[in-house]
């Protein structure tokens, strides 16, 4: 054991032979006026390694205090910190290496850290690692062990890990690794001294340092030997041929470049040939490390305590179950609709009665002297149309609020997961899932999302499926009409229609799968978020953005459409029944009759949904007029149809041809008018077919 008295002597020694100083090679290239810390030449050198933000700098500062020098690594812009301190009478040079996640030379920091450890050979390295990300930390440890530098581990942030329910048994980890592990709370200076003591012990007897290293799979051993033989004497000194061969096989860019530059071309072509044959060797080499990490974690980590993680697991055992999960999904959506109807429908009725009625009376007073044409347009066109749509704002707000809560709680991701399971059972291609999932919000991103499919054929067929996903606009229309159409059974009918929609989607999907993908599967990993209490602000924002964009749409596109519908229903004579719109609607009657819909106004409303799905409501508002007291628009519409026809109407509204924005996007994405027409034709056939079937079935059953 050295005594403090040795230090002045060492300094003297250093002055006489400064160039042999071990640290000289990495001395800061510039001096910035800080305290000039001269490394003690024969003192021990300890390198601090670790991920960024893991507390490495805290350990460095605790140990060196003011005795540190901050500069740059020679020729680099990366900060270099060195310092001198004494521990148990030993002088120690401490080098703080740049924070790195691995030693793969992917970044300047990683290259510096790796090169320092290989070329400067510190007496011992201290790895400060994050207990809360043990797997990642152990990956770095595995790479450090491959460098043959004696190592001790400082396990920091155990408190964070404990909060996450991860308890690590330090002594078990140390035994499994055969590397000293010291528990640290760097911020409170706990364990730092013990860590240095452990490092000094390892440095005192490097021969006894025999860590448990990740093994290389047997089948790669001959390849490695072949490479080592080829490398021969070409590998320059601090780099060992074994390590270089391993890095070549891993595809390490830096090492590959160095070797290529230093071996004769004919040797390189031999090496290159071997590397090409073993292109996927990386998976096995990394696999060896991962298996090693898995073993260490299994040994040293006590399973998470009962808390957030296991609660999520327990809920998920039902929520992500192939059958129960699907039932739960339908149940939750049914409940969401039921809640929407109970809470928002009366509010919506009140809005359309009192506010819309009030607005109409107000407009009548204001426009008393105005030409009949103008007052008609404003009152019977704009207010009755766009105003009616605005009246179902409460329904939308409540619906979005419920959706927002489901999303924020973490359930929607499960819903998507379960849906995919269901699709998968039916043989639908996994890669179509993402675009289809997007379609739930709006079909436009669903069509765009099909870009992820490389094959044109697969992409086109996924685009064909996208409009079959029930978008929120269509759900809103459904939510507006269903309560008036079916009273207490509204929620049941709604969820039935959504289920029908999904079944049709799945059936068409199977056909698409058979035609386009020939059963070939691609898979996804989906990180299911932990369940958590919804955040009022997040949900509020969700409701606000969605509702506001709806208001914007009502104030522009729907307002315009309402005006157009009113004008068309008033030319030529001002009598709606004799208008050109009525004539057009009546022309559709033979087709409508098969689904029990004979009122031209309802048929026109369906057609107008092409411009935007909400137009169905606006058009009904214009054509049926502002309802009398005690009635609502929805009840007025319900009165012109028998129950079978009402259900048929809702089904058609759900499945009808995509809205204009979607059609434009389909045209743009497919670049083909034929496909766009095919998409419209398919949806038209499906929706009409469903409408006719439903009505005829009801008729036969005598309902």
Region 136-195 residues binding another protein, contact defined as CB under 8 A: 136, 139
Residues contacting residue 463 through CB under 8 Å, at least 6 positions apart: 435, 447, 450, 666, 669, 670, 675, 679
Question: Residue 477 CB, nearest distance to another protein (Å)?
Answer: 12
Question: Residue 284 CB, nearest distance to another protein (Å)?
Answer: 5
Q: d(Cα 203, Cα 154) in Å, to the nearest integer?
A: 16
Tell me which residue has tokens 């009478």: 89
Name which position in 50, 325, 394, 445 contacts another protein (CB under 8 A).
Answer: 445
Question: Residue 552 CB, nearest distance to another protein (Å)?
Answer: 6
Name which position in 234, 286, 678, 684 contacts another protein (CB under 8 A).
Answer: 286
Query: Buried b vs exposed e over 422-454: b needs ≥16 C-beta within 10 Å?
Result: bbeeeebbebbbbbbbbbbebbbbbbbbbeebe
Question: Residue 340 CB, nearest distance to another protein (Å)?
Answer: 15
Question: Residue 446 CB, nearest distance to another protein (Å)?
Answer: 9
The nearer residue to another protein, 666 or 694, going by C-beta atoms, is 666
By CB under 8 A, what part of segment 546-585 binds another protein?
546, 549-550, 552-553, 557
φ and ψ of 47, to 5 deg: -105, 135
From 23-31, 284-292, 561-569, 617-625, span contacting another protein (CB under 8 A): 284-292
Q: How many Å is the maximal CA-CA distance in the chain?
A: 114
Helix (H) or strand (E) holding 673: helix 673-701
Whole-angstrom CA distances from 44 to 60, 79, 303 are 15, 22, 39
Name which position in 227, 412, 482, 626 contacts another protein (CB under 8 A).
Answer: 412
Helix (H) or strand (E) holding 155: strand 151-156
- The answer to whether residue 283 forms part of the interface with another protein (CB under 8 A) is yes
Estimate the crossing angle of helix 411-425 against helix 308-319, to 10 degrees.
40
Q: Which of 311, 319, 492 is nearest to 421 (CA)?
A: 319
**Beta bridge mates, 190:** 185
The nearer residue to another protein, 627 or 658, going by C-beta atoms, is 658
Name which position in 175, 267, 442, 560 contacts another protein (CB under 8 A).
Answer: 442
Question: Residue 539 CB, nearest distance to another protein (Å)?
Answer: 12
The nearer residue to another protein, 195 or 409, going by C-beta atoms, is 409
The nearer residue to another protein, 14 or 420, going by C-beta atoms, is 420
Question: Residue 113 CB, nearest distance to another protein (Å)?
Answer: 19
3-state secondary structure 368-387: CCCCHHHHHHHHHHHHHHHH
From 205-213, 352-360, 399-407, 625-633, span contacting another protein (CB under 8 A): 399-407
From 192-200, 517-525, 592-600, 690-698, span contacting another protein (CB under 8 A): 517-525
Q: d(Cα 70, Cα 59) in Å, to the nearest integer?
A: 15
Contact track, another protein, 456-485, x by CB under 8 A: ---------------xxx------------
Name which position in 165, 287, 625, 643 contacts another protein (CB under 8 A).
Answer: 287
The nearer residue to another protein, 29 or 215, going by C-beta atoms, is 215
Question: Residue 104 CB, nearest distance to another protein (Å)?
Answer: 9
- The answer to whether residue 413 forms part of the interface with another protein (CB under 8 A) is yes
- The answer to whether residue 510 forms part of the interface with another protein (CB under 8 A) is no
The nearer residue to another protein, 272 or 553, going by C-beta atoms, is 553
By CB under 8 A, what part of segment 78-97 binds another protein?
none
Contact track, another protein, 307-346, x by CB under 8 A: ------x--x---x--------------------------
By CB under 8 A, what part of segment 524-543 binds another protein?
524-528, 538
- The answer to whether residue 523 forms part of the interface with another protein (CB under 8 A) is yes
φ and ψ of 91, to 5 deg: -80, 135
The nearer residue to another protein, 452 or 492, going by C-beta atoms, is 452
The nearer residue to another protein, 145 or 389, going by C-beta atoms, is 389
Question: Residue 397 CB, nearest distance to another protein (Å)?
Answer: 12
Name which position in 392, 411, 437, 600 contacts another protein (CB under 8 A).
Answer: 437
Name which position in 421, 499, 510, 568 contacts another protein (CB under 8 A).
Answer: 421
Structure tokens at 572: 């030529």
Helix (H) or strand (E) holding 529: none
From 62-70, 225-233, 365-373, 432-440, span contacting another protein (CB under 8 A): 432-440
Residue 548: left (phi > 0), alpha (psi -120 to 50), or beta? Answer: alpha
Positive or negative, the CA dihedral 381, 387, 390, 395 is negative
From 36-44, 81-89, 235-243, 288-296, span contacting another protein (CB under 8 A): 288-296
The nearer residue to another protein, 440 or 566, going by C-beta atoms, is 440
Side-by-side strand order, sheet with 181-183: 68-72, 79-87, 90-96, 44-50, 124-130, 151-156, 181-183
Question: Residue 469 CB, nearest distance to another protein (Å)?
Answer: 11
Whole-angstrom CA distances from 641 to 97, 414, 477, 500 are 78, 38, 17, 21
By CB under 8 A, what part of segment 213-252 binds another protein?
215, 217, 251
By CB under 8 A, what part of segment 611-670 binds another protein?
612, 661, 664-665, 668
- The answer to whether residue 516 forms part of the interface with another protein (CB under 8 A) is no
Is residue 663 packed enough to be buried (19+ CB in 10 Å), middle (13-18) or exposed (0-12)?
Answer: buried
Q: Which of 201, 141, 199, 204 is nearest to 173 (CA)?
A: 141
The nearer residue to another protein, 526 or 591, going by C-beta atoms, is 526
Total residues contacting another protein (rule CB under 8 A)? 75
Q: Which of 286, 236, 285 is nearest to 259 (CA)?
A: 236
Q: d(Cα 46, Cα 123) in Å, to the nearest integer?
A: 6
Name which position in 134, 469, 618, 655 contacts another protein (CB under 8 A).
Answer: 134
The nearer residue to another protein, 135 or 225, going by C-beta atoms, is 135
CA angle 646, 650, 653 (to 5 degrees): 135
Is residue 96 packed enough to be buried (19+ CB in 10 Å), middle (13-18) or exposed (0-12)?
Answer: buried
What size, in residues, is the chain? 703
How many CA atoms within 13 Å lie on the side-chain side of 288? 19
């Amino acid at each position: 054991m050295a005594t403090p008295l040795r230090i002045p002597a060492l300094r003297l020694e250093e002055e006489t032979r400064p160039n042999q100083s071990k640290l000289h090679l990495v001395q800061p290239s510039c001096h910035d006026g800080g305290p000039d810390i001269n490394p003690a030449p024969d003192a021990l050198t300890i390198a601090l390694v670790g991920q960024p933000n893991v507390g490495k700098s805290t350990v460095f500062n605790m140990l060196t205090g003011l005795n540190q020098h901050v500069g740059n690594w020679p020729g680099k812009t990366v900060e270099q910190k060195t310092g001198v301190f004494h521990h148990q009478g030993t002088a120690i040079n401490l080098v703080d290496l740049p924070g790195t996640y691995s030693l793969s030379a992917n970044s300047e920091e990683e290259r510096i850290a790796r090169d320092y450890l290989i070329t400067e050979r510190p007496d011992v390295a201290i790895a400060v690692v994050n207990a809360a990300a043990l797997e990642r930390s152990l990956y770095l440890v595995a790479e450090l062990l491959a460098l043959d530098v004696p190592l001790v581990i400082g396990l920091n942030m155990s408190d964070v890990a404990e909060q996450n329910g991860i308890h690590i048994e330090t002594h078990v980890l140390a035994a499994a690794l055969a590397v000293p592990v010291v528990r640290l709370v760097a911020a409170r200076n706990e364990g730092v001294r013990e860590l240095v003591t452990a490092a000094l012990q390892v440095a005192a007897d490097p021969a006894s340092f025999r860590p448990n290293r990740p093994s290389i799979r047997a089948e790669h051993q001959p390849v490695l030997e072949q490479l080592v033989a080829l490398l021969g004497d070409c590998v320059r000194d601090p780099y060992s041929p074994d390590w270089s061969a391993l890095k070549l096989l891993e595809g390490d860019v830096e090492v590959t470049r160095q070797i290529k530059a230093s071996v004769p071309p004919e040797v390189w072509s031999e090496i290159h040939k071997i590397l090409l044959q073993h292109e996927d060797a990386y998976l096995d080499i990394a696999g060896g490390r991962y298996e090693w990490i898995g073993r260490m974690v299994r040994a040293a980590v006590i399973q998470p305590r009962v808390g957030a993680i296991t609660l999520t697991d327990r809920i998920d055992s039902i929520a992500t179950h192939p059958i129960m999960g699907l039932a739960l999904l339908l149940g939750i959506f049914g409940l969401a609709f039921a809640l929407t109807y109970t809470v928002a429908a009366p509010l919506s009725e009140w809005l359309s009665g009192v506010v819309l009625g009030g607005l109409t009376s107000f407009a009548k007073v204001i426009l008393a002297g105005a030409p009949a044409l103008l007052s008609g347009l404003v009152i019977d066109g704009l207010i009755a149309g766009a105003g009616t749509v605005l009246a179902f704002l409460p329904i939308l707000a409540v619906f979005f609020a419920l959706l927002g809560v489901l999303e924020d709680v973490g359930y929607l991701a499960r819903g998507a997961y379960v849906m995919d399971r269901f699709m998968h059972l039916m043989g639908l291609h996994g890669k179509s899932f993402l675009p289809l999932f997007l379609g739930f919000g709006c079909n436009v991103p669903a069509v765009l999302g099909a870009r992820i499919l490389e094959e044109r054929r697969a992409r086109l067929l996924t685009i064909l499926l996208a409009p079959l996903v029930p978008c929120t606009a269509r759900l809103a229309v459904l939510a507006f009409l269903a309560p008036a159409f079916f009273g207490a059974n509204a929620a049941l009918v709604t969820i039935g229609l959504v289920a029908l929609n999904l079944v049709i989607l799945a059936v068409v999907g199977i056909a698409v799968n058979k035609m386009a993908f020939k059963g070939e599967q691609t898979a996804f990993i989906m990180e299911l978020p932990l369940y958590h209490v919804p955040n009022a602000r997040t949900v509020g924002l969700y409701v606000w953005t969605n509702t506001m964009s709806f208001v914007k749409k009502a104030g522009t596109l729907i307002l315009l459409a309402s005006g157009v519908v009113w004008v068309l229903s008033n030319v030529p004579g001002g009598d709606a029944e004799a208008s050109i719109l009525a004539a057009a609607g009546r022309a559709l009657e033979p087709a409508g009759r098969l689904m029990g819909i004979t009122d031209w106004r309802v048929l026109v409303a369906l057609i107008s949904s092409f411009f935007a799905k909400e137009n169905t409501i606006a058009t009904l508002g214009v054509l049926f007029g502002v309802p009398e007291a005690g009635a609502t628009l929805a009840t007025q519409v319900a009165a012109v149809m028998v129950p079978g026809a009402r259900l048929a109407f809702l089904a058609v509204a759900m499945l009808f041809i995509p809205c204009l924005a979607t059609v434009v996007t389909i045209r743009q994405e497919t670049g083909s008018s034929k496909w766009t027409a095919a998409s419209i034709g398919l949806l038209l056939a499906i929706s009409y077919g469903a409408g006719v079937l439903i009505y005829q079935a009801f008729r036969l059953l005598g309902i």
